[in-house]
Homo-oligomer: A and B are copies of this chain.
Amino acid sequence: MTRRDPLDLEVITALSELTTRFFADYDAAAGAHGLSGAQARLLALVVTEPRPMSKLAVGLRCEPSNVTGLVDRLEKHGLVERRVDAQDRRVKLIAPTEAGSELSARVWADLNFAAEPLRGLEQPERIQLRDLLRKMSPHRAD
């Protein structure tokens, strides 16, 4: 992909616009419930299953030291808790509290509502989009 394919540039431009917009919508939905975007993303990562902080750093694509602060703030608000992993006592598993799970669900509901970019697409197009997006994501092991 070293050559400058004009099609790629078009796609990247469109992606760039969309991601900016999607991020803004996500932040707004989170903000409506007193969360920052990063906090909401972290919460979404642990809500299905408790995860070690190191995995969260990978999922959020940031440094582990940053995760400490994010978890600190969420914990202070009673939305997640640190559990020591019985298998490996260095590891802290981040689990949502009941309040955390509920809040995350509410943010997602809002996001669903707020994700109005999708309104431009008919159902078959959404399916197409989903399949394309999946194809762009490497399948994750964990």
A residues touching B (Cβ–Cβ < 8 Å)?
A: 1-2, 4-5, 7-12, 14-24, 26, 41, 44, 59-61, 108-109, 111-113, 115-121, 123, 125-130, 132-138
Contacts and interface: CB of A to CB of B under 8 A. Distances in A.
Contacts of A123: 7
Contacts of A61: 20-21, 24
Contacts of A24: 61
Contacts of A113: 1-2
Contact of A14 (B4, B133, B138): B133
Given A11-B129, A23-B19, A61-B21, A136 B121 contact: yes
A136 B117 contact: yes
A24 B38 CA distance: 13
Contacts of A2: 113
Contacts of A19: 18-19, 22-23, 26
Closest 4 CB pairs of A and B: A14-B133, A24-B61, A117-B136, A19-B19
Given A7-B123, A109-B4, A113-B1, A137 B12 contact: no
Contact of A44 (B14, B16, B59, B119): B16
